[in-house]
Chain A
Amino acid sequence: MYEQFKTRAEGVSAEVHRFGTSTEALAFLVNFLRDEGVADQDGQYCVVAGCPFLGAIDQTQMAAVSGVFFEVSRERAAGAKVGISQVDWALADTGTLVQDATAADKRLVSTLPFIHVALIATSGLRADMESWLADVQPDTIGYLAMITGPSRTADIERVLTIGVHGPQRLVIVFVDQLGGTN
């Protein structure tokens, strides 16, 4: 299922990575933030929405990168280059991420920054929407967000252009043993 997800997601311009443990994923993230030039200045922030992953890692390693914020405000998110959140499911047949995005910070970090990094436990993979629908209890979720690749438009002359109002890049990080609790 993972391979199918990867193919589909890359087919819609997402970037897909996979790690065995949260520690390995953290190492990747820290390097990623440094490479992207995340810094404590407007336009270069990184905002992180609360999630189980944060409970599973040594947060100080992330906090060591200057410009990384765990408190997410509108202004901070609007000035961020990178936003990080954890999503709950992944649908293999369309390369789609599904998130209970009821908490406002999850939406701010995945809509306003240029890059959205989505963390996901590999166990959240489902074959398709039907099998996901059988799993989910929609009554308990106020804002369900499905995300398939970065923001896109073809409204001018049908030319596909990535990154309109939402993120220009979607970086998906699978973690086999994600651990952590909310």
Chain B
Amino acid sequence: MQQEFKASIDRALHNANLTGALGKFSEAYKVNRAKAYEGIDFEALRTTIAERKGYAASHLKELSALFQKNAEAKGAKVFCTNDPAQVREYILKVAQENGVKSIVKSKSMATEEIHLNPFLEKAGIEVNETDLGEWIIQLAGQTPSHMVMPAIHMTKEEVADLFSKEIEERLAADIPRLVKVARNEMRPKFLRADMGISGGNMAVAETGSIVLVTNEGNARLVTSLPKIHVAVVGIEKLVEKFSDIGPILKALPRSATAQLLTSYVSIISGQTPNSDGSLKNLHIILMDNKRSEMAADPMFKEAMQCIRCASCLNVCPIFRLVGGHVFGKVYTGGIGTILTAWYDELKSSEHIQGLCIQCGACKDVCPGKIDIPALILEIRRRLVREQGVPLLQKSIYAVVNNRRVFHGMLRAASVAAKPFARGTKFIRHLPMFLADLTDGRSLPAIAAKPFRDVFKTIQQPKGLQEKAVFYGGCLIDFAYPEMGEALVRIFNKAGIEVLFPEGQTCCGAPARYNGAYETAAGNAADNIRALLANQADYVVSACPTCTVALDHEFIATFESLGQRQWLPQARELAAKTVDFSTLVKKLVAEGRLSFREGQELGTITYHDSCHLKRTLHADGPPRELLQKAGYQLTEMFECDICCGMGGSYSLKLPEISAPILQRKLHNIKETGAPVVAMDCPGCVMQIRGGMDQDGSPVRVRHTVEILAERMRD
């Protein structure tokens, strides 16, 4: 990663104002958003929105033409173009033809995208942003750091300084007073402006209407007071029917600011009268700027379903640490990464795409039902396809893809790591450039004897009828073999023999998450061969990331690469694959496993691993099982927020991973529970390592270890 980019991350992380403001907002947002959606079937709502926006995305040409026809029938002039330069020139031409000296603007991301303000100012026209946040950043000479709250990165003191300079009067950092100053300063600008420029939240084809959603009331003034109104609208805002406004208006304010509805929604259909009785000179610019290319891409078409609510920023554990000036260009955060890759160019997203930890929190709340993490992964894949894998990573994957070499190296590492482990199960310090990896967290010492060797020594009862293939995954195999042993004990009690095919290797997730799909496909093929070699009733894994690989991603990887010959076997494997807790829950329900009775084991708290909760939707079974075992469950704050591990993410961006971990440790300790359980050995590695460096007595355990101790014989 570029030095300069790393430096910008570092600056953001050390900006206490920024991380404080974003952190507080994201905590409140989660609660308020849930409240705003009370009584609403969010899944049904977003399915409708995705369908309506998806329809529009596949009929862009027709809807643009229909919009143009209907709006022009009502006196508007509609200009359609693919080229940002033409948008700028068109607006300048309208301004010059009408002798425009001064312009007021309401918030528009599309005009930010095409850098309209400096262009008009160069031509000698005064341009005033009127949205409070936009005005603040205009005065500061900055770009918006958030799509909905452009100035969220600034403190009231900074705003007071800016305003003081502007009005040449020393102002205190008193927010109501500052807002009043903005109102008073802006009034004459509104009243004297010759042109108003707005964006558009929706453009309705069947009526030629523009919908504007705002809170401050500035858009009402921008579209009412000046005699010329220019609306710049990206074609992704097109919807077919007037009734499509309903579902989008239901979701947009709730998802954006947790409001039931914004203070103002204006629906403008054609020319309206000015206060002197003349008719408004109304221009609507439908801007493509690569949007139709995006809509034509089978994968990225989904991104056209975005309604620009920015909820993907608000729930992102990375965004709340670094903000939009690091995580984005004009458009920020998860969706911003995707839009930057298209509206700008793929290369522009090179660094920011690496910030995504793939936790999936954004996908859960997206009202457009966009699989944002999957699209970012696709960007990563395409970048790797264009630019190749960085040399260091390439040599790692070459090793990972050769099981014998890989496993040989891990064994060697066990010996090499010994001096660092100093007889404990942890590596607390590493020398030189590796020091970051143990900053705030210890690493597990590589087991002296991997699970694949331990397994051969386990005596399983003879004559068990059912068979389960155990997919260990690298962490259980080489760092936590005791988790594998616990799993075998449990399934033996249920009358299931556990098989451990030696040919199994890395699940390919590390390669896939770094865009190296060929390597991931090689891993997938090796594993399919190994895991399907034996007849078994289940393929079970105690690592959710591995389970997701077996269950979903082998198929997706082969599909992406067009290696269709592997699909039938990949599907056969997926059908048999189940995560540990889900299978145990089933066996308990069938009466094949039971817990020792009368156990009162005290409190426990549970950390949701990203893949288990958001891809496998299996957050229920472990909680149920732990309670059945005799624990009293105390939920922690933000139980389903990522622990910062993210596979190799914590190795690539340890400076971001570390504060996410610290927050998780804090939330765990706040519950007062002496034990925290989780279903992912990766999370165990991160959180156990964190607790070790913290010197905290909280025990960090995989559910499999806990349950194995509590099963009745």
Q: Give residues in A with beta carbon < 8 Å to B.
A: 8, 12, 72-74, 78, 93-96, 102-105, 107-108, 110-112, 129-130, 133, 138-139, 141-159, 161, 163-167
Residues of A within 8 A of B260 (CB): 8, 12, 93-95, 148
Question: Is the C-beta of B603 less than 8 angstroms from some C-beta in chain A?
Answer: no
- B220 contacts A159, C-beta separation under 8 Å: no
- In the complex, how many angstroms separate the beta carbon of A160 from the nearest chain B beta carbon? 9
**In the complex with contacts A104-B274, A157-B21, A166-B263 CB distance below 8 A:** yes
**In the complex with contacts A73-B275, A107-B220, A147-B264, A138-B242 CB distance below 8 A:** yes
**In the complex with contacts A104-B274, A108-B275, A155-B183 CB distance below 8 A:** no
* Interface segment out of the listed B174-182, B319-327, B389-397, B661-669: B174-182
Interface residue tally for chain B (C-beta within 8 Å): 65
Question: Is the C-beta of B351 less than 8 angstroms from some C-beta in chain A?
Answer: no
- In the complex, how many angstroms separate the beta carbon of A81 from the nearest chain B beta carbon? 14
Question: Is the C-beta of B523 less than 8 angstroms from some C-beta in chain A?
Answer: no
4 further A-B contacts with Cβ under 8 Å, apart from A94-B261, A104-B274, are A146-B261, A148-B260, A153-B179, A161-B175
Report which of B132, B190, B267 forms a contact with A153, defined as CB distance below 8 A.
B132
- A144 contacts B216, C-beta separation under 8 Å: no
- B249 contacts A129, C-beta separation under 8 Å: yes
- In the complex, how many angstroms separate the beta carbon of A132 from the nearest chain B beta carbon? 9
- In the complex, how many angstroms separate the beta carbon of A11 from the nearest chain B beta carbon? 8
CA distance A110 to B273 in the complex (A): 16
The residue on B at minimum CB distance from A132 is B246
CA distance A152 to B217 in the complex (A): 8
- In the complex, how many angstroms separate the beta carbon of B320 from the nearest chain A beta carbon? 13
**In the complex with contacts A104-B275, A142-B269, A155-B220 CB distance below 8 A:** no
- B132 contacts A166, C-beta separation under 8 Å: no
Residues of A within 8 A of B266 (CB): 143-146
The residue on A at minimum CB distance from B180 is A163
Report which of B136, B271, B272 forms a contact with A155, defined as CB distance below 8 A.
B136
Report which of B156, B183, B259 forms a contact with A165, defined as CB distance below 8 A.
B183
The residue on B at minimum CB distance from A170 is B263
CA distance A12 to B215 in the complex (A): 12
Question: Is the C-beta of B65 less than 8 angstroms from some C-beta in chain A?
Answer: no
- In the complex, how many angstroms separate the beta carbon of A59 from the nearest chain B beta carbon? 22
CA distance A72 to B269 in the complex (A): 23
- B175 contacts A133, C-beta separation under 8 Å: no
Question: Is the C-beta of B612 less than 8 angstroms from some C-beta in chain A?
Answer: no
The residue on B at minimum CB distance from A134 is B243
Residues of B within 8 A of A78 (CB): 187, 191
**In the complex with contacts A147-B263, A147-B264, A155-B136, A163-B156 CB distance below 8 A:** no
- A159 contacts B263, C-beta separation under 8 Å: no
Give 6 pairs: A residue, B residue, CB < 8 Å, sorted on A: A130-B246, A145-B220, A151-B264, A161-B175, A163-B183, A164-B216
Report which of A141, A145, A156 forms a contact with B151, defined as CB distance below 8 A.
A156
- B224 contacts A108, C-beta separation under 8 Å: yes
CA distance A108 to B263 in the complex (A): 17
Report which of A12, A142, A150, A152 forms a contact with B268, defined as CB distance below 8 A.
A142
Residues of A within 8 A of B245 (CB): 133
Q: Which 3 A-B pairs have the closest CB atoms?
A: A166-B217, A155-B133, A146-B265
- In the complex, how many angstroms separate the beta carbon of B657 from the nearest chain A beta carbon? 27
Question: Is the C-beta of B131 less than 8 angstroms from some C-beta in chain A?
Answer: yes
The residue on A at minimum CB distance from B250 is A129
- A151 contacts B217, C-beta separation under 8 Å: yes
CA distance A103 to B279 in the complex (A): 11
CA distance A139 to B270 in the complex (A): 10
- In the complex, how many angstroms separate the beta carbon of A96 from the nearest chain B beta carbon? 5
**Residue among A12, A102, A103, A143 having the largest count of chain B Cβ atoms under 10 Å:** A143
Interface string of B216-240 (1 = CB under 8 A from A): 1110110111000000000000000
CA distance A167 to B136 in the complex (A): 21
CA distance A89 to B263 in the complex (A): 15
CA distance A165 to B131 in the complex (A): 9
**In the complex with contacts A73-B275, A138-B209, A166-B220, A145-B264 CB distance below 8 A:** yes
Residues of B within 8 A of A129 (CB): 246, 249-250
- A165 contacts B186, C-beta separation under 8 Å: yes
Residues of A within 8 A of B207 (CB): 138-139
CA distance A166 to B209 in the complex (A): 23
- A103 contacts B151, C-beta separation under 8 Å: no
Residues of A within 8 A of B267 (CB): 138, 141, 143-146
- A165 contacts B221, C-beta separation under 8 Å: yes
The residue on A at minimum CB distance from B217 is A166
Residues of B within 8 A of A150 (CB): 263
Question: Is the C-beta of B102 less than 8 angstroms from some C-beta in chain A?
Answer: no
- A156 contacts B269, C-beta separation under 8 Å: no
- In the complex, how many angstroms separate the beta carbon of B316 from the nearest chain A beta carbon? 17
The residue on B at minimum CB distance from A11 is B260
Residues of A within 8 A of B131 (CB): 155
CA distance A158 to B268 in the complex (A): 29
